[in-house]
Amino acid sequence: MAISREDVLHVAALAQLELSEEEIARLTVELNDILAAVGKVSELDLSDVPPTSHPLAVVNVFRPDEPRPSLSLDDVFANAPERDADYFRVPPTGAAEESSA
């Protein structure tokens, strides 16, 4: 399966990227090279390799969930640029900010 110029333009539109003609051409070549490299895995005989989610045996180690004292509010807000009662004050983000601009 090859990556076409249209595929690159589609992904760029989804990512909201503006690409120059040079970047489109370069990314088309680079993405096809990546697919070719990954495709080499299909040439290997992996019939005796068990499916895994991780190459190493990973075991989660959890500590006991024991209640303990939490930080005081003064310590929590010590480095906060702004505070509003018991909340962090942050600048607005997202659609509300864009619509007011």
Domain boundaries in the chain? Answer: 5-42
Give 28's contacts (C-beta < 8 A, 6+ positions apart). 3, 4, 5, 7, 8
Rounded mean pLDDT of the chain?
A: 88
Question: How many angstroms separate the CA atoms of 49 and 45, rounded?
Answer: 9
| b/e 12-51 (16+ beta carbons within 10 angstroms → b) | eeeeeeebeeeeeeebbeebbeeeeeeeeeeeeeeeeeee
Q: Give the H/E segment covering residue 83.
A: strand 83-84
pLDDT surpassing 80 at residue 7: yes
Architecture of the domain spanning 5-42 = Orthogonal Bundle (1.10)
How confident is the model over 29-62, as pLDDT tens digits? 999 999 999 999 888 898 898 888 878 877 887 8
